[in-house]
Structure 1
Amino acid sequence: MNLLSVDLYQSATNPSKFLAVPAGVDPTEIMGPMTFDQDYAEVVRYHEAFEFDPAQTYVGANAAKIAADILTVKWATFGRTTADGA
């Protein structure tokens, strides 16, 4: 699978939750994430135009699921976990 250029956003109310959208997409125009979890109602930009590789390993994130979600519904949510699983 090819690299995906995504913008990453962090929840303003729960900093362990993240939202990935295709680069250039305004997250305020996407209702899906906050429909499922109000922590995504307010987000702040974490990383712009990140070259996301679905085949890469990212700590605390299922890269294949994130890529599949972005390609199908145009957004993906994920959480950051620590080494002890918290």
Structure 2
Amino acid sequence: MSKPFDMELFLTGILTGSQATRKRHLRQATIMQAGIAKRWQRETPWAWQRKHVAWFLEHRLDQHSEATRYYFLLSARLLARRLKKTWEFNL
């Protein structure tokens, strides 16, 4: 049995800003992780490709407000920076 992936530990070194901002990024990254894991069985961000995150932003958030999609986009950019990827996303 393996331990569940700890998103907080994964993002700890890169999270900056106020406590509320850090919590929001962590919560949104965890939601993204759950959505991608359910759809593609990719449990950790290390296994993700750009298409997985783009799918989440485009299809899972299509019924949400512009503000919500923007904040998820910021979290996605943070994840990409942590993974040292040059992913760009269009909303």
Give the TM-score, by structure 2 length: 0.31
Greater per-residue helix proportion: 2
Question: Taking structure 1 as the reference length, what is the TM-score of the superposition?
Answer: 0.32
**If each structure's strand is expressed as a fraction of its own residues, which one has the higher value?**
1
